[in-house]
Structure 1
């Protein structure tokens, strides 16, 4: 099938299968959705229009945040003022990042190497997440998260959802300095910190056409000290704001979306997102993460050093 705006001829089944893989990976390990979507557009489908690839990547990374954000909000696992600060900064960063990218990264020769650098960063993060120290930390986080979710289910079953205020996010101070409690613990942060982080992350994510979660999650958990219970919801809400801003600005500046291709891609994303939680029971996360780390490392090498290797040795890596 010919996708005219994307400028490629590709079987729709291939599009659906690859995006199902993207949805599966993202729903299983919660990372690399925008990167894998970009790899599909650049390498699997062979798209050559950088300013078409970027907004199409970001549309696909919006599926999960749009679905999950209301759920986190309902369970009071979302720090709304922090997400708004990230989002306001994200609007500024997304406008700036998309303009810079549309102007100075408009061809694949300039865009692909930088995309490869970010791919390296994601791969490095995944290698780190397979270390014993990180895995031990995650086991504690998963155990605590499960306990929180079980408590929420108990409150729902007993018709006592009003009591969730005791364990959910509740603010006692809102302004430049913010104070809130979650599960009996008190947390404080300055509004300027998430605002500036939102600007920085959105510049990068908008310029390269990715979601930005790979930068937001470490910032919220490490820099601000938020527990992982509330990090996911807070980051997804800000991703929705900055991604919609970035996509809109790309379209305003003349980029176009190949809607038929996006339609097939969304089918694949939904299939993969549905199968992820089901199949993940039979696939150890460490194996999937290891496989993905190897693949992304290889892709990063190909995107960044591929032309030099081809020139020096006469063969293409990717």
Structure 2
């Protein structure tokens, strides 16, 4: 099928299948959604317009935040003032990042190496997560998350919403300096920090056409010290704001979206996002992460150094 706006001819079945894979990986691992969307657009589908690829990547990464944010809000697992600070910085960063990228990374020759660099960054992150110490920490966090989620479901089923309010996020101080409690523990942070973080992350993600969760999650958990129970909800809300801003600005500056192509892709991502939690019971995350780390390492090397390797050896990597 020909998609005239994107300038490619590709089977709708391939679009759907790849997008299912993107949604599945994103919902299972929680990262690399924008990267895999970009790999599909650049290599598998053969799109040549960098300033179209970026917002189309981000359109696909919006699916998960749109679905997940209301759920986290209902379960009081969302630090709204922190998400607002990240979002405000994200709006400014998305406008700046999309402008710079639209102006200076408008051709594939300049865009692909930088996209390859961020792909390698995520690949290295996955390799780190496969180390014994990182895996042990992830198992502890996973068990804690499952325990909390079970408690939330029990309280909802019993109609004890007041108790849900008590264990969820509750602020005692808001403004520049913020204090809140979650599950009996007290947390403090300064709003300037997430604003700056949101600005920096949004510049990078808007410029390259990715979601930014791979940077926001480590920031919220390691630098602000938030428990993982509330990191996901806080990050997806800010990603929703910054990605929507970036897409809007790309369109305002003249980038076009192939809505016919996106309709197939968005459908596939929704299916994959649903299948992720279901199939994760049968497919071990370690195998999936290992496979993804190998693939992203290969793609990152190909995008960054493919031209030089081909020129030196005559072998085309990607």
Q: Distance in 1 between matches of 2:260 and 2:117?
A: 30
Cα deviation for residue 184 of structure 1 reads: 0.5
Match of 2:121 in 1: 121
Residue 168 of structure 1 is matched in structure 2 by: 168
SS in 2 for 1:178: strand
Which 10-residue stretch deviates more, 106-115 or 155-164?
A: 155-164
TM-score normalised by the chain length of structure 1: 0.99
Tell me the equivalent position of 2:6: 6
SS of the residue corresponding to residue 306 of structure 1 reads helix
Q: CA–CA distance in 2 between the matches of 1:197 and 1:51?
A: 25
Determine the C-alpha separation between the residues in 1 that align with 2:23 and 2:149: 23
Q: Secondary structure at the match of 2:262?
A: helix
Alignment match, 1:199: 199
Aligned partner of 1:58 in structure 2 is 58
Farther off after superposition, 16-25 or 296-305: 16-25
The CA deviation at 1:257 is 0.2
CA RMSD of aligned residues (A): 0.6
Aligned to 1:238: 238
Q: Is 2:79 the partner of 1:79? A: yes
- Report the counterpart of residue 156 of structure 1 in structure 2: 156
Question: TM (normalized to structure 2)?
Answer: 0.99
**C-alpha deviation, 1:276, in angstroms:** 1.5
- Give how far 1:279 is off: 1.6
Measured after TM superposition, the shift of residue 142 of structure 1 is 1.2
Alignment of 1:201-220 (within 5 A): 201-220=201-220
User: 2:104: which partner in 1?
Assistant: 104
Q: Does residue 93 of the first structure (1) align with residue 93 of the second (2)?
A: yes
- Per mean C-alpha deviation after superposition, the further-off stretch among 266-275 and 211-220 is 266-275
Deviation at 1:128, TM superposition (A): 0.6
Alpha-carbon distance in 1 for matches of 2:155, 2:280: 28
Deviation at 1:277, TM superposition (A): 1.6
For residues 283 and 143 of structure 2, what CA distance do their matches in structure 1 show?
19
The more displaced of 136-145 and 223-232 is 136-145
Q: Any runs of at least 4 consecutive aligned residues in structure 1 with deviations exceeding 6 A, and if so which?
A: none
- Alignment correspondent of 2:297: 297
Supply the distance in 2 between the matched residues of 1:247 and 1:189 (Cα, whole angstroms). Answer: 30
2:145 is matched with which residue? 145
Q: CA deviation at 1:164?
A: 1.2
Which deviations, in whole Å up to 9, do the C-alpha atoms of 1:161-183 show, x marking residues without a partner? 12112110000010111000001
Aligned length, in residue pairs: 318
Cα distance in structure 2, aligned partners of 1:250 and 1:122? 24
SS of the equivalent of 1:291 reads helix
Structure 2: where are the runs of 5+ without partners? none
The 1-side partners of 2:80 and 2:51 are apart by: 32
Q: CA deviation at 1:212?
A: 0.1
- Separation in 2, partners of 1:93, 1:297: 28
Deviation at 1:6, TM superposition (A): 0.7
Q: Cα offset for 1:157?
A: 1.5
Segment of structure 1 superposing worse, 241-250 or 156-165: 156-165
